[in-house]
Structure 1
Amino acid sequence: MCVDSATKYLHRARIYLGKNVETEGNLGENIIRELLGDLLGKGRKVCCDNFFTSPSLGQFLYQAKTFLIGTIRANRKGLPKGYGNQALEKGQCQFLYRNEETLVKVQAKKIKRFMVYCNYRHDADYNEKEKKPTLVTNYNKRKPHVDLFNREAEKYAYRPATRRWPMRVFHWIIDCAAINAHVLHQQHTGASSRRMFLNELADKLMEQQQQIHVNEHWSNIRFRKIAESFDELRTKTMGGSHSKLIHCKSINDDGEICNKPSRQTQECNNCHKPACPEHYVELKLCHGCEQNMKIEEPAMCKKKYHPF
């Protein structure tokens, strides 16, 4: 999966179909080339784990004006022989440079060490606060975005029980398309609630079919009940803490506008201005319209009965 680190937008993904697919050369390197596609040559920075990272991939991306940073395995072709197995003091790090390439080895624990590779010249700086090289902290900032995308996909995922793997892939594609649509919607409108966006998206996708079924003479009673209760269900699911704050425009007893923010405002039937629950009476009027209108109750008749 190729995911943008800033917006979590899925650019491209590849489905693993097993070992029957013939590949030439390094599998991880071929996957990175395929996923990047038209992103090559635009000066972007790619972050990947040790399954994909290799010096040959770094050299190829450097020629394509693309930067690479990621953890690398000690037995990768192109690294100094036996360098990854050499132990250091606990907490110690060591930098190696070759042309424009940078390699840092970190001894995290007594028997645990790892290496981070990048295909561009990086300074041998050390972050005293995190007690790690700056190259490692830069990698840690970018590495979790694919996992964050998967977590967002699982949050509102649709996973019906099925034994057919193409159906599972199809449902996953729908979830990914919904996330990408929300990212584009957020960039254009500034809306941040994904739950409300999915409710609106489902509403728009079902609207055409609902109209077709309602207008047809063969629509059954069950479907009509579902269609009639859809608006009420949508209001309940989109309400709560994620609903928009609206300021009350009713005039209080002092002759001033209330301007109190509330998520439970109602519209006045007379002036059509929003009113908070404090200034909204049972007559469905705001406080100002209630004071201006004189409502007289009819006099009660005291006669026991009326003759015909």
Structure 2
Amino acid sequence: MDNFFTSVELAEALIELNTTLVGTIRSNKRQLPKQFTSLEAAKTRGLFSSAFCFSGCCELTSYTAKTKKNVLLLSSAHATEEIDSKTGKPKVILDYNKYKGGVDTFDQMLRIFTCKRKSNRWPMILFFNMIDVAALAAFRLHEMIHPDYEAHKSEKRKIFLKELAFELATKQLENRCKTAVKSSVKTAMDLIGFKPPKMTTAPLAMPAIQVKNTKRRCQTCKTHRNTRDNKTTAVCDLCLKPTCSNHYVRACEVCYLHNFKDPDTAVSSESDEENRNDAAPSTSRTQANRRSRVDSIINL
């Protein structure tokens, strides 16, 4: 196991699952004694010397490979101070060198396609590593289930990661298309080959201000002497006459259909009257006055 993952807590947890651990461990771990982590103690022992420490199910081995290099290994699969007579290395070192190819290959495959970015926040570094490991594990599982997947192509892992990233982002892209999209976002969508979904149902045509470049006098302000003469670029969406914000009316669907009488989605006047009577109590003077003001503005 790589020293990024190796720890005493992990070794004890794996033993409970009947799984042993052999791997290098970093010298900055708090559980390690100073006699094993310091280079001065390794120099005192001499070159190619070994030291062993046992605690519970774990064995800690310190091997001086070079003058200024002290190799630390943690193992839960060894419980003796066995040293090979030919090489002079501990048995745990030989076993680690024999089976470490899988870890090195794994790290090499992660470096080829990675999402890691430079960051000073350790949670982000851990998150990037989790994404890389999960993507590689997903590729291996997919390759075992579908052995014929892109068998004639050498970059099948690259193709798989592109398809995986596109599927994970599709839902968010569809939700993004429901709102206003900038030109830069549209360009990015075109680069990845995303096509916005077509609208299955046409949205209901509600009042909307149409804006023109030139400012003109509000048509309603000109007919009222007491009101201020405002200039605006907005026009009414029906008569296309200039209308300022003070005289533009926003209406709900029921009121819009009742006043403007859309022939495609119109409802009967009787049902409209019942809905209005249910929605607005007759005892409320405020709502009645508001409705009368809206009707007077619409009739202008």
Q: TM-score range by the shorter chain?
A: 0.3 to 0.5
Give the helix-richer structure, 1 or 2: 2
Question: Greater relative contact order (Cα 8 A, min sep 6): structure 1 or 2?
Answer: 1
TM-score, length of structure 2 as denominator length: 0.39
Q: Give 1 or 2 for the bigger CA radius of gyration.
A: 2
